[in-house]
């Protein structure tokens, strides 16, 4: 997901969701713009990264697909000043090489009373 912070501008967030975010606070953050290396670091630095690599007989997930979603989310925040927040939940991340699907996306636009940035 992403939010437009009054101080930092577009801030991109990544986590596995559910209890990983709500209870364990297992989330990574970066300020846009992002490089591919930034997106990869965001994915690798969460504590639950091992699940994405394949854990207890589960196949590895398509990390390249989630990396592209992170990068595209950052691009949207940079290109569209009217976007305040983006929430992508859930994102179905398939086996390595099989992609990912954003099942639900919520985009909140800034109102005229929202702080301006630049």
The band of 25, judged by pLDDT with boundaries at 50, 70 and 90, is confident
User: Regarding the domain delimited by 2-109, which CATH topology (the fold level of the hierarchy) does it fall under?
Assistant: D-amino Acid Aminotransferase; Chain A, domain 1 (3.30.470)
Domain boundaries, the chain: 2-109
**3-state SS, one letter per residue, for the chain:** CEEEECCCEEEEEEECCCHHHHCCCCEEEEECCCCHHHHHHHHHHCCCHHHHHCCCCCCCECHHHHHHHHHHHHHHHHHCCCEEEEEECCEEECECCCCEEECCEEEEECCCCCCCCC
**pLDDT value at residue 17:** 79
Statement: residue 8 has pLDDT above 70: yes
What is the maximum span of the chain, computed from C-alpha positions, in angstroms?
51
Statement: residue 115 has pLDDT above 70: no
Give pTM, 2 decimals.
Answer: 0.90
* b (16+ CB within 10 A) / e for 64-84: ebbbebbbebbeebeeebebb
């Amino acid at each position: 997901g992403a939010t437009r912070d009054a101080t930092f501008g577009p801030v991109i967030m990544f986590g596995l969701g559910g209890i990983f975010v709500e209870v364990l606070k297992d989330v990574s953050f970066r300020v846009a713009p992002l490089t591919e290396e930034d997106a990869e670091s965001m994915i690798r630095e969460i504590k639950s990264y091992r699940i994405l690599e394949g854990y207890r007989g589960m196949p590895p997930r398509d990390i390249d697909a989630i990396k592209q979603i992170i990068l595209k989310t950052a691009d949207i925040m940079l290109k569209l000043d009217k976007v305040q927040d983006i929430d992508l939940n859930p994102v179905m991340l398939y086996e390595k090489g099989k992609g990912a699907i954003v099942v639900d996306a919520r985009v909140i636009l800034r109102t005229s009373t929202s702080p301006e940035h630049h």
